[in-house]
């Protein structure tokens, strides 16, 4: 009986209508992609601030490029940010997803660097043995 009750509950939960977003609010996946891009911009600006002291950092241009690339505008992003910020658990899940995606990018980059280094080392080793 308990098993039937649990299965029924799961079926009802699966049939529940999805949240309808207010007009102008990005869906969660698209918003996550824009937040990921914004996070990378913030990291870039922090590096530029420390390495290019006194240089003007074109922050607005970076964001304009991001919004153009994602097909959104600043108003949509801000409205979406406000919407998701009103749901702290959802916003936390979005940022957790961004962190996971950044971690994957970092790991992929390290793996590519390692493979490139291994290839270069193999070439050097083979070239060295050919010279003998």
Taking only the tens place, the pLDDT of each residue in 23-79 is: 999 999 999 999 999 999 999 988 888 887 667 878 899 999 999 999 999 999 999
Query: CA 120, 121, 126, 129: dihedral to nearest 10 degrees?
Result: 140
Confidence class of residue 16 from pLDDT cuts 50, 70 and 90?
Answer: very low
Cα-trace Rg, the chain: 23
Name the packing angle between helices 59-70 and 74-85 (round to 10°).
Answer: 80
Mean pLDDT score of the chain:
81
Q: How far apart are CA 39 and CA 93, in angstroms?
A: 15
At 32 the pLDDT is 97
Q: Please state the domain extents for the chain.
A: 24-131
Quickly list DSSP for 40-61.
HHHHHHHHHHHHSTTPPP-HHH
Is 90 exceeded by the pLDDT of residue 103? yes
């Amino acid at each position: 009986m308990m098993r039937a009750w649990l299965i029924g509950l799961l079926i009802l939960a699966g049939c529940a209508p999805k949240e309808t977003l207010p007009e102008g609010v990005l869906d969660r996946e698209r918003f996550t992609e824009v937040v990921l891009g914004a996070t990378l911009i913030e990291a870039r600006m922090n590096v530029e601030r420390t390495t290019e002291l006194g240089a003007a950092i074109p922050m607005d241009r970076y964001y304009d490029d991001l919004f153009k690339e994602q097909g959104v505008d600043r108003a949509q992003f801000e409205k979406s940010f406000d919407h998701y910020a009103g749901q702290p658990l959802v916003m936390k899940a979005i940022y957790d997803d961004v962190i996971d995606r950044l971690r994957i990018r970092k790991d992929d980059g390290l793996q590519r660097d390692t493979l490139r280094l291994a290839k270069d080392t193999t070439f050097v080793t083979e070239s060295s043995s050919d010279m003998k």
